[in-house]
């Protein structure tokens, strides 16, 4: 049990790495919490700092979830035993899911940024890719199709999150993939959580004043955008 708690703590700390905050201070010596949407995520980084910084932050945020689920989770088995929490659920998948979830929670509420953070989409994506890459790859296709057709990152994120559990169901029951039921349940909860986290974006989308991505070019002269 102690080994599992250590895994969850390490995952939360990894997830708490405020990549956009640190990249903003290194790249432009600014605090992203004071610019644009004030969100410590990749979208605000792209908008304020430009595509180079945005890609760096995106990769780091994705890696946080992947490292927690794929690598840190294994410490629970190498250091000590892991209790079976839910009968019928595969223990290794369970540990990977919760390690990833704690990384997502760390990203949303970073201990290094006064418990502020991003919306967790990329970190959740990294976590899910470590567990089952095919379904998350399909969700990424949906994300990019919606993004390039609408230019709304928030809309693309929410629609991709919505479809991800559906892809899992299709793979399991339509193509007989060996997908644990716990992943379907937890991924549905993750999708709902991320969509709820986007509630301010939903309001702006309904009001017609949500920000669109107009270009991936460096955001010159936009540092003071509020």
Q: What are the residue ranges spanned by the domains of the chain?
A: 2-207
Q: What tens digit of pLDDT does each residue of 65-120 get?
A: 999 999 999 888 776 555 555 444 567 888 898 899 999 999 999 999 888 888 88
Predicted TM-score (pTM) of the model is 0.82
Cα 124 from Cα 108, distance rounded (Å): 11
Read off φ and ψ for residue 180, nearest 5 degrees: -65, 140
DSSP helix/strand/coil, 116: strand
Structure tokens given for 50: 């430009």
Q: Of 69, 100, 82, nearest to 4 (Cα)?
A: 82
CA distances from 219 to 1, 38, 47, 108, 131 (A): 48, 16, 6, 25, 35
Q: What tens digit of pLDDT does each residue of 29-77 get?
A: 898 888 887 888 888 888 788 888 888 999 999 999 999 999 999 888 7
Cα 156 from Cα 160, distance rounded (Å): 6
> pLDDT: is 182 or 17 the higher one?
17
Q: What tens digit of pLDDT does each residue of 160-173 get?
A: 999 999 999 999 99
DSSP helix/strand/coil, 25: helix
Place of tokens 């079976």: 84
**Residues 34 and 117: beta-carbon distance below 8 Å:** no
């Amino acid at each position: 049990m102690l080994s599992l708690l250590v895994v969850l703590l390490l995952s939360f700390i990894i997830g708490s790495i405020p990549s956009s905050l640190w990249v903003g201070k290194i790249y432009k010596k600014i605090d992203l919490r004071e610019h644009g949407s004030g969100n410590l995520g990749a979208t605000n980084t792209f908008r304020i700092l430009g595509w180079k910084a945005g890609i760096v932050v995106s990769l780091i945020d994705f890696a946080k979830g992947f490292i927690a689920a794929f690598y840190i989770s294994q410490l629970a088995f190498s250091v000590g035993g892991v209790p079976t929490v839910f009968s019928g659920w595969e223990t290794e998948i369970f540990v990977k899911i919760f390690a990833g979830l704690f990384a997502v929670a760390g990203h949303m509420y970073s201990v290094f940024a006064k418990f502020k953070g991003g919306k967790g989409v990329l970190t959740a994506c990294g976590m899910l890719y470590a567990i089952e890459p095919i379904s998350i790859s399909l969700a990424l296709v949906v994300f990019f199709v919606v993004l390039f057709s609408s230019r709304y990152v928030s809309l693309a994120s929410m629609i991709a999150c919505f479809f991800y559990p559906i892809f899992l169901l299709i793979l399991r029951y339509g193509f007989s993939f060996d997908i644990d039921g716990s992943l379907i349940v937890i991924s549905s909860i993750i999708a709902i959580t991320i969509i709820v986290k986007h509630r301010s974006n939903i309001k702006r989308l309904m009001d017609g004043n949500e920000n669109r991505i107009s270009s991936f070019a460096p955001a010159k002269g936009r540092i003071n955008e509020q």
